[in-house]
C-alpha cells in the first residue's frame, strides 16, 4: 500500500473542505516537544499493523455539523471509498442525491458541489499534509507525534478507546480532533475548530479489502465553475 499522505480523508475529508477553508496556514517554527506516552505508542503500532494489508476500503457514515451560523445541526449521510491511490467521499442530501463529492489523489483534492455547479481544487504538495488528520496508514501514523500532542482515553466499554489529537501549530484552525475506536475499527471522528464549530462523523460500516468496481472519478456537469485554492 502506498504510504502517501491520506490525511484529507475524514472519513474522511474532515479538514479544509469541511470548514470551507482555503490555503492551509503555514507551519509554525519547530519547537521542543514531549514524546507520546507508552500507551499512545502501543496503540499507534497496533493501528499501523491492522491497516498494513489494506488495499481498498469502504466507509459508510452519518455526518453531523454543529455550526454557530446554523440554528439546527446539519445531518447528512455518505460513504468514502479508497482504491489504489485515490479516495472518493460522497455526502448526500435528504433526497439521497449527492450534495458534495471529494476526490483525493496524490497531487490534489477536488471538492465538487453538483447542485451549485462549483468545483474547488486544492493542491497537495509532495510530502506535505493538511492541518486535519484522518490517518490510515503507516507513514501518517508515524508523523502524528510531530504534528500533534496525543493522548489516549480508555472507556468502560470493552475495547473502546479515543485518540485525542491537539495541533502543535498555533496557527491551525482546529482546536481538537477525537477519534473513537473499538479495537482498531473507527467508530466516530469528532472535530472542533477555534470558532467553536464542530463536525461529528459516526461510522456505521467500515469494510476493508472489499471489491470496488467503479472508477474513483468525479463527473463534472457542463457549466461548472472551477476555483483553484492555495496554489
Q: Distance between CA atoms of 25 and 230, rounded to whole angstroms?
A: 10
Q: What is the pTM of this model?
A: 0.77
pLDDT tens-digit readout, 144-170:
888 899 999 999 999 999 999 998 988
Q: How far apart are CA 114 and CA 18, in angstroms?
A: 16
Q: Map out the domains of the chain as residue ranges.
A: 39-228
**pLDDT of 135 strictly over 80:** no
Residue 32's pLDDT is what? 56
Question: Which segments within the chain are labelled E, that is strand?
Answer: 56-66, 74-83, 86-92, 98-104, 108-113, 118-123, 148-154, 160-167, 174-182, 185-193, 198-208, 225-228
Q: Does domain 39-228 have CATH number 2.50.20.10?
A: yes
Amino acid at each position: 500500500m502506498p504510504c502517501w499522505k491520506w490525511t484529507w480523508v475524514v472519513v474522511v475529508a474532515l479538514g479544509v473542505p469541511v470548514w470551507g477553508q482555503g490555503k492551509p496556514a503555514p507551519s509554525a517554527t519547530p519547537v521542543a516537544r514531549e514524546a507520546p506516552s507508552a500507551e499512545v505508542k502501543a496503540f499507534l503500532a497496533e493501528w499501523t499493523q491492522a491497516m498494513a494489508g489494506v488495499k481498498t476500503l469502504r466507509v459508510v457514515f452519518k455526518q453531523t455539523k454543529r455550526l454557530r451560523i446554523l440554528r439546527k445541526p446539519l445531518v447528512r449521510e455518505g460513504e468514502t471509498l479508497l482504491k489504489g491511490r485515490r479516495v472518493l467521499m460522497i455526502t448526500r442530501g435528504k433526497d439521497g442525491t449527492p450534495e458534495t463529492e471529494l476526490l483525493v489523489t496524490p497531487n490534489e483534492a477536488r471538492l465538487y458541489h453538483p447542485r451549485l455547479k462549483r468545483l474547488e481544487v486544492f493542491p497537495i504538495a509532495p510530502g506535505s499534509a493538511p492541518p486535519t488528520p484522518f490517518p490510515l496508514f503507516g507513514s501518517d501514523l508515524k508523523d502524528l507525534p510531530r504534528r500533534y500532542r496525543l493522548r489516549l482515553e480508555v472507556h468502560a466499554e470493552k475495547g473502546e478507546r479515543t485518540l485525542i489529537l491537539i495541533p502543535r501549530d498555533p496557527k491551525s484552525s482546529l482546536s481538537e480532533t477525537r477519534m473513537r475506536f473499538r479495537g482498531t475499527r473507527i467508530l466516530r471522528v469528532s472535530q472542533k475548530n477555534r470558532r467553536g464549530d464542530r463536525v461529528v462523523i459516526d461510522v456505521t460500516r467500515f469494510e476493508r479489502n472489499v471489491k470496488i468496481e467503479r472508477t474513483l472519478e468525479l463527473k463534472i456537469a457542463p457549466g461548472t465553475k472551477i476555483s483553484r485554492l492555495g496554489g
